[in-house]
């Protein structure tokens, strides 16, 4: 190709070849008007300093090569038109996001699988148009709870496998369009935010614009269903996932998580979470993968979880759970690996019979407690009814509330007003018996 022809070239795609060697240092002299450059999936090495001279670039994909060195200052500070930047899977080092970074139109940023260092979230606030920010598997550090920016348009935030610490920033809850949130394999502490239900793209069907760039080769890596998958193309628009695994999170799973109706994958494994597994998680009708393993959850596995009819992977291994393992619906498809490391779980899958006598006695105790609660509630209702509606009209009285209700006054009242007959059925038999005994003693005393 002659220099005159190449000088007018706007798109250059030489991806997926066996090209190797150093990248041309004078590329701008050949392609001064280049807008799209894709050299991904080759074995180029050396630095990429000359790329910074291509000031009209809108799309730049250098992923899956052996480039070294840092990101040219010109790319990070003077790329006015750049919308797509992928430097994934190279050997790049230095600061990933310098404080003077300025790419006002950048929407897709993939810096994963390099050796970038520096503090995060320094420099991120300048990328106000970002849809995807993927910096996983680097060496970034910093406290996420300090000065985390609100990236209002962000759909995917993937920070997995860095050295980030601190608590989860509440600013995440202000990012209404987040569909993928992966903070796994860091050193985060504190509790899971209770405001996650403010992320509307996870709670309801979203009308957000397509955040997949057609024609791009990059993908979003996400661990779900027990394996690492690479999501690309239109599949990104259907991906709704949260991964907080392998941190030091404490506390319980907030009940607000049950409002994330669109979520397909939830992973909080390998943390220090405790409490009971919320039964309300059974409301997550889109959930396909639920991993709560390697925590300190206790209590029974909620039967409501069997309402998750499209659940494919379920893992609660290595907790302190008790009782029988569910065997209905999707749970009939899981094997013992879902429950290992819970010595007090029982059931056919674990080859450990459940103690039915214990279960029955527990059931009786529960029923008795419920009956007592109902009895007390009805007593309060009847007493209030008598006080408010019957006292003046029918001479009703409540004597010694702690012991018994003088049922004769209620009987007198309902005999005069037949529309209140239904109330007599709600008076506990124990109270009727106590009143009858009291009446007999009263008669005996009078006769004596």
Angle of CA points 333, 337, 342, to nearest 5°: 115
Going from the C-alpha of 123 to that of each of 85, 120, 232, 339, 372, the distances in angstroms are: 16, 8, 26, 43, 61
Per-residue pLDDT, 117: 92
Per-residue pLDDT, 429: 55
Among 154-163, 243-252, 429-438, where is mean pLDDT lowest?
429-438
Per-residue pLDDT, 56: 92
Angle of CA points 229, 198, 228, to nearest 5°: 10
Beta bridge partners of 108: 84, 132
User: How many Cα atoms sit within 13 Å of 74 on the Cβ side?
Assistant: 10
Alpha helix (H) residue ranges in 183-252? 200-203
Q: What is the CA radius of gyration of the chain?
A: 33
Per-residue pLDDT, 97: 80
Structure tokens at 363: 């059931």
Among 144-148, 186-190, 369-373, 416-420, where is mean pLDDT lowest?
416-420
Per-residue pLDDT, 387: 44
Considering only the C-alpha atoms of the chain, give the largest distance between any 2 of them, rounded to a whole number of Å: 129
Give the neighbor-by-neighbor strand order of the sheet with 43-46: 20-22, 43-46, 66-69, 91-95, 115-117
How confident is the model over 220-242, as pLDDT tens digits?
777 777 777 676 666 667 789 99
Per-residue pLDDT, 223: 73
406 or 4, which is more confident? 4
Q: Answer yes or no: is pLDDT of 386 > 60.
A: no
Structure tokens at 2: 């002659």
Structure tokens at 394: 């029918």
Nearest CA to 354 among 325, 317, 327? 325
Please compute the mean of the pLDDT values over residues 111-138 and round it to a whole number. 90
Mean pLDDT over each residue of the chain, to the nearest integer? 80
Per-residue pLDDT, 435: 56
How confident is the model over 77-107, as pLDDT tens digits?
778 899 999 999 999 999 888 777 778 899 9
Nearest CA to 222 among 235, 205, 212, 206? 235
pTM metric for this prediction = 0.77
Residue 50 contacts residue 24 (beta carbons within 8 Å): yes
Q: Answer yes or no: is pLDDT of 418 > 80.
A: no
CA distance 369 to 363: 10
Please compute the mean of the pLDDT values over residues 173-179 and round it to a whole number. 95
Buried b / exposed e along 362-394 (16+ C-beta atoms within 10 A): eeeeeeeeeeeeebeebbeebeebbeeebeeeb
Please compute the mean of the pLDDT values over residues 125-139 and round it to a whole number. 91
User: How many Cα atoms sit within 13 Å of 403 on the Cβ side?
Assistant: 7
Give the residue carrying structure tokens 């005994």.
437
Per-residue pLDDT, 171: 94
State whether residue 261 is helix, strand or coil. Answer: coil
Please compute the mean of the pLDDT values over residues 365-373 and round it to a whole number. 40
Per-residue pLDDT, 444: 61
At 279, the pLDDT band (50, 70, 90 cuts) reads very high
Per-residue pLDDT, 420: 39
Q: Answer yes or no: is pLDDT of 388 > 60.
A: no
Q: Answer yes or no: is pLDDT of 357 > 60.
A: no
State whether residue 159 is helix, strand or coil. Answer: coil
Per-residue pLDDT, 212: 59
Per-residue pLDDT, 148: 87
Give the neighbor-by-neighbor strand order of the sheet with 320-324: 274-276, 296-299, 320-324, 344-346
The beta-carbon contacts of 117-122 under 8 Å, at least 24 apart in sequence, are 117/93, 117/141, 118/94, 118/142, 120/96, 120/144, 120/159, 120/162, 120/164, 121/97, 121/147, 121/148, 121/149, 122/97, 122/98
Please compute the mean of the pLDDT values over residues 276-304 and round it to a whole number. 97
Percent of the chain residues past pLDDT 90, beyond the cut: 56
Residue 105 contacts residue 56 (beta carbons within 8 Å): no
Residue 140 contacts residue 120 (beta carbons within 8 Å): yes
């Amino acid at each position: 190709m002659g220099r005159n022809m190449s000088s007018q070239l706007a798109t250059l795609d030489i991806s997926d070849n066996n090209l190797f060697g150093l990248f041309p240092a004078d590329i701008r002299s050949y392609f001064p008007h280049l807008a799209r450059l894709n050299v991904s999936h080759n074995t180029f090495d050396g630095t990429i300093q000359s790329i910074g001279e291509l000031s009209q670039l809108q799309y730049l994909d250098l992923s899956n090569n052996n480039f070294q060195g840092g990101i040219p200052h010109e790319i990070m500070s003077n790329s006015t038109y750049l919308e797509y930047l992928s430097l994934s899977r190279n050997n790049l080092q230095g600061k990933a996001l310098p404080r003077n970074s300025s790419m006002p139109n950048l929407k897709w940023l993939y810096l994963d699988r390099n050796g970038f260092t520096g503090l995060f979230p320094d420099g991120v606030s300048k990328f106000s148009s970002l849809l995807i920010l993927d910096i996983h598997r680097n060496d970034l550090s910093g406290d996420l709870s300090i000065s985390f920016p609100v990236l209002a348009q962000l759909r995917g935030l993937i920070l997995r496998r860095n050295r980030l610490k601190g608590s989860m920033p509440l600013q995440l809850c202000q990012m209404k369009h987040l569909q993928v949130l992966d903070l796994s394999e860091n050193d985060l502490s504190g509790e899971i935010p209770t405001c996650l239900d403010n992320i509307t793209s996870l709670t309801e069907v979203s009308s957000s614009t397509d955040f997949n760039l057609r024609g791009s080769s990059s993908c979003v890596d996400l661990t779900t269903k027990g394996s690492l998958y690479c999501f690309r193309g239109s599949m990104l628009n259907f991906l709704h996932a949260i991964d907080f695994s392998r941190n030091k999170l404490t506390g319980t799973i907030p009940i607000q998580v049950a409002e994330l109706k669109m979520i397909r994958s939830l992973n909080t494994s390998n943390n220090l979470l405790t409490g009971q597994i919320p039964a309300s998680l059974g409301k997550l009708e889109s959930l396909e993968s639920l991993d709560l393993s390697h925590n300190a959850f206790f209590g029974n596995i909620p039967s409501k979880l069997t309402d998750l009819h499209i659940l494919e992977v379920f893992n609660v291994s290595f907790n302190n759970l008790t009782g029988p393992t569910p065997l209905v619906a999707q749970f009939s498809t899981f094997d013992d690996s879902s429950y290992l490391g819970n010595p007090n779980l029982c059931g056919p899958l674990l080859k450990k019979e459940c103690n039915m006598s214990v279960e029955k006695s527990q059931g009786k105790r529960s029923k008795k407690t419920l009956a007592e609660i109902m009895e007390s509630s009805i007593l309060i209702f009847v007493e209030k009814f008598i006080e408010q509606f019957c006292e003046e009209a029918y001479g009703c009285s409540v004597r010694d509330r702690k012991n018994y209700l003088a049922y004769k006054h209620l009987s007198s009242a309902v005999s005069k007003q037949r529309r209140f007959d239904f109330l007599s059925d709600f008076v506990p038999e124990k109270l009727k018996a106590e009143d009858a005994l009291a009446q007999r003693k009263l008669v005996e005393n009078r006769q004596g």
